[in-house]
Amino acid sequence: MTVVSPELLTRFDVPGPRYTSYPTADRFVEAFGANDYVLALQQRSVGTSAKALPLSLYVHIPFCESLCYYCACNKIITRHHDRAEVYLRYLSREVELHTAHCGKGQVVSQLHLGGGSPTFLSDEGLRELMAMLRSHFTLAPDGEYSIEIDPRTVDAGRLALLAELGFNRLSFGVQDFDPEVQKAVHRIQPAEQVFALVDAARALGFASINIDLIYGLPRQTPASFERTLAQVAQLRPDRIALYAYAHLPERFKPQRRIVWADLPMASAKVAMLARSLEAFSAAGYVYVGMDHFALPDDALAVAKRQGRLHRNFQGYSTQPDCDLIALGVSAIGRVGATYSQNAKTLDEYYDHLNQGRLPIVRGLALTRDDLVRRAVIMALMCQGELLFEPLEAAWLIDFRQYFAVELGVLQEMAGQGLVIFNADGVQVTEMGWYFVRGIAMTFDRYLQADRNRTRFSRII
């Protein structure tokens, strides 16, 4: 792994999109509604091969028993588990409305349960949810079925249930093993508990285990995070997701409980990131891209080597680029050349479904320029290269003319050692992979027109 200098990390410490989509979700409009989404679903079902098209499902479970102060997710804090029972009934209605428009039995190659805390659901609730999905969709036997895990809500028995229900990938929310940091963010989970759960998951045969970490949290120091990195190396998960904490208390109320003075300085954050890159490299991890690392034999690392990486609303994926049906409050989906988002509050979500309507409240129908730029940005984010001729053939453009301004900016990045120009196109260097968000931002037409980037997390 290339050694990245703190100076270069500091230079790119700017806000920017994560490009789980392009255009990004902040560009969605309320003019796009349920009728537009239904039309996209119906168009998807046209043709005899419709059911053979790949399909992903995302299910948002918004409930959590306790509040983590750093959290920017759409969640509902409650200890009343009967609220989940009501929620599952409405999810069932939403699924039925979907299959009424696109047909039952469509093959699903990827399923992800996110939140909130999906493991807030009881054992019976998890069984009910999976039975409901299987009754309306066909889950491919070789598909990827993942769920986000709050270690405080599961034991070995619950992990066994998840395996029985068909989940084959787990993502544990760890963030930091340091007890003082855990107190500062109101998320106490002893390292011993996480180690025991990972051991149990391995014994049960889960195909991939991911650990989420965050740097830049209150009371974190380079020394304390060094200890967490050592524990992660000992734990040796298949994948690691390392995120920078974005402190935006004006947007996310829970973050107002974080003491500003407890946050590490920018120089300390850069030091933590630089040390993380060194530590993961020394432990044998492959840098997949952005904030993802994987062991060399993990499917994500293999896909990176073979040029088969894809990107969706959950991040990097080995699954082919495909439509995503999103279920649950605030969930974001993609069907055809459209993006859509469900209502963000339970009351509004329930109200739409009570009226027999899909709970879509905003979205976007992509223009031709959006589609061209999405292809370019995803090529950079996933393959790390732009090959002019295939893009010109696919979109009937003269790449050098269409993106003359953007290529000028990339020439400056070439001088920084981030990209290389050749006769066929542009290649992201090994160094450039660490700053691929910044490289991709060059082609974002919306950012070119709107320089107010404070809505985004920082690249570093």
pLDDT in tens, 256-268: 999 999 999 988 9
Lowest mean pLDDT, pick from 217-221, 236-240, 428-432? 428-432
**CATH class of the domain comprising 1-23+368-460:** mainly alpha
Q: What percent of the chain has pLDDT over 70?
A: 94
Confidence of residue 22 (pLDDT cuts 50, 70, 90): very high
Supply the pLDDT for residue 180.
97
Supply the pLDDT for residue 48.
46
pLDDT at 112 over 90: yes
pLDDT at 147 over 90: yes
Q: What is the mean pLDDT of residues 321-342?
A: 94
Residue, of 349 and 322, whose pLDDT is higher = 349
Supply the pLDDT for residue 97.
96
Cα atoms in the 13 Å half-sphere on the side-chain side of 168: 13
Supply the pLDDT for residue 46.
72
pLDDT at 3 over 80: no
pLDDT at 1 over 60: no
pLDDT at 455 over 80: no
Q: What is the mean pLDDT of residues 142-152?
A: 94
Q: What is the mean pLDDT of residues 200-225?
A: 96
Supply the pLDDT for residue 175.
96
Contact between residue 10 and residue 270 where contact means Cβ atoms under 8 Å apart: yes
Supply the pLDDT for residue 274.
85
Supply the pLDDT for residue 457.
59
- pLDDT tens digit sequence for 366-418: 999 999 999 999 999 988 899 999 999 999 999 999 999 999 999 999 998 99
Q: What percent of the chain has pLDDT over 90?
A: 74
pLDDT at 9 over 80: no
pLDDT at 277 over 70: yes
Block residue for tokens 């905003």: 362
Q: Structural domain boundaries of the chain?
A: 1-23+368-460, 25-324
Which candidate, 85, 90, 145, 94, places its Cα nearest to that of 120? Answer: 85
Contacts by 425-432 with C-beta closer than 8 Å and gap 24+?
Answer: 425/385, 425/386, 425/387, 425/388, 425/389, 425/399, 426/385, 426/386, 427/384, 427/385, 428/380, 428/384, 428/385, 430/2, 431/2, 431/4, 431/8, 432/384
Superfamily of domain 25-324: tm_1862 like domain (3.80.30.20)
Strand-pair category, 63-64 with 76-77: parallel
Supply the pLDDT for residue 91.
98
- pLDDT tens digit sequence for 179-193: 999 999 999 999 999
Supply the pLDDT for residue 43.
86
Q: What is the mean pLDDT of residues 341-369?
A: 97
